[in-house]
Structure 1
Amino acid sequence: MAIELPPNLIELERSAWAEIQAGTLTVPTALAVHEALAAFTAESGQSRFDVEMALKKRVRHPEPEAA
């Protein structure tokens, strides 16, 4: 089952990932991702683990775009 991730959650994770890679991750950035993830999983009823794994895969290991 594919998880439909909201754009705001994807953008927050992208920001956090960029900060992680730069070695500059801040508590406010991490907290924003955490809170958005918690809100989404509470609203959707989906497993937090499954959503977080799908989110990380989407941001950190994106599928190549079809030509």
Structure 2
Amino acid sequence: MMGTVLKVNAAVGDQVGVGDTVIVIESMKMELRIVSEIEGTVTSINCSEGETVERHAVVAVVEPEE
């Protein structure tokens, strides 16, 4: 199932916490929130608003805090 990136809520270098919404994707007329599962720093954003992404695509990377 593909989706379209509606909003990128974080940038590389941002600190995020557990449950913070990093990206919002629309698929099948539903908005899906991609949330951080850990506290850490965003090290990569691999999509942009309006882009179509494939199922299981890595759209962002968060490195854990040490």
Higher Cα Rg: structure 1 or 2? 1
Q: TM-score, normalised by structure 1?
A: 0.28
- Relative to total residues, which structure has the larger strand share, 1 or 2? 2
Q: TM-score, normalised by structure 2?
A: 0.28
- Relative to total residues, which structure has the larger helix share, 1 or 2? 1
